């Protein structure tokens, strides 16, 4: 059951960012052709603990304003109730995993933490970090299934409440970080506007780090997020 709920949770986080960006009337910055950031030297070789971390421990490992630098403002936690209204259309794999709108009610990754930031120098530029922890035997295959489903459909639609959002996906090369990594570029079309977002996930032992948002901001802060999450 955790795979279905995980798909909804990850997709809902992206939809929430998209809705916020569309409401501001601006699209996220276009992605650059730069290569993924290299792993940090100090912590990349350290093997993360295999035991799951608590939500409180994960919260302490989230990026904060001091990690990001000047110009970032932390956003209030998003109301998770909107996830109940997310419906996937046109992607059988995602429909099977999360199309019924379970919205995390059966989420089998019990430990999680999240932080979202806006960047004042780029209108509509945002970045969100999600941390999850569970045993490797659950976390690894569950995450793998979700990303394979999300990147397996180049075009599909998500309906949030009664508002349709068209989504196109492009699988990107995974960064050389952690034990496993996935990355994708998504273009959301809603209300006549396109919003380009990047989502990269890195599993380091029993911790999953998911960074989503403006492509340039994801590239800038991914390695720092992974290093801090690894402790």
Residue 67 banded pLDDT, cuts 50, 70, 90: very high
How many other C-beta atoms lie within 10 A of the C-beta of residue 191? 11
**Stretch 118-142: mean pLDDT, rounded?**
84
58 has pLDDT over 70: yes
Q: Does residue 176 surpass a pLDDT of 90?
A: yes
169 pLDDT higher than 80: yes
CA atoms within 13 A on the CB side of 91: 28
pLDDT of 8 over the 50 cut:
no
Looking at residue 34, what DSSP letter applies?
Answer: P
173 has a pLDDT exceeding 70: yes
Dihedral sign from CA coordinates of 122, 177, 69, 17: positive
Determine the pLDDT at residue 211: 94
| Domains of the chain (ranges, CATH numbers) | 2-229 (3.40.1000.70)
Task: Please give the Cα distance from 216 to 29 (Å, whole number).
Answer: 7
Q: Got the DSSP string for 112-166?
A: EEEEEEEETTSTT-EEEEEEEE--HHHHHHHHHHHHHHHHS-SEEEEEETTEEEE
Residues 185-207 have a mean pLDDT of 91
């Amino acid at each position: 059951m955790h795979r279905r709920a995980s798909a909804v949770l990850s997709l809902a986080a992206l939809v929430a960012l998209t809705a916020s960006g569309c409401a501001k009337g601006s699209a996220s910055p276009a992605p650059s052709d730069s290569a993924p950031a290299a792993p940090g030297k100090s912590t990349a070789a350290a093997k993360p603990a295999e035991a799951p971390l608590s939500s409180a421990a994960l919260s302490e490992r989230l990026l904060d304003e001091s990690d990001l630098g000047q110009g970032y403002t932390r956003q209030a936690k998003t109301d998770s109730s909107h996830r109940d209204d997310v419906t996937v259309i046109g992607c059988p794999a995602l429909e099977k995993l999360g199309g019924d709108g379970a919205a995390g009610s059966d989420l089998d990754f019990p430990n999680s933490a999240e932080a979202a930031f806006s960047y004042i120098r780029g209108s509509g530029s945002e970045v969100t970090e999600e941390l999850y922890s569970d045993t490797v035997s659950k976390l690894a295959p569950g995450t793998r299934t979700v990303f394979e489903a999300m990147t397996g459909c180049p075009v599909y639609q998500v309906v949030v409440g009664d508002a349709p959002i068209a989504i196109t996906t492009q699988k990107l090369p995974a960064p050389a970080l952690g034990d496993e990594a996935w990355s994708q570029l998504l273009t959301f079309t809603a209300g006549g506007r396109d919003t380009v977002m990047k989502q990269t996930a890195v599993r380091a032992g029993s911790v999953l780090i998911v960074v989503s948002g403006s492509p340039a901001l994801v590239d800038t802060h991914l390695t720092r997020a992974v290093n801090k999450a690894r402790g």
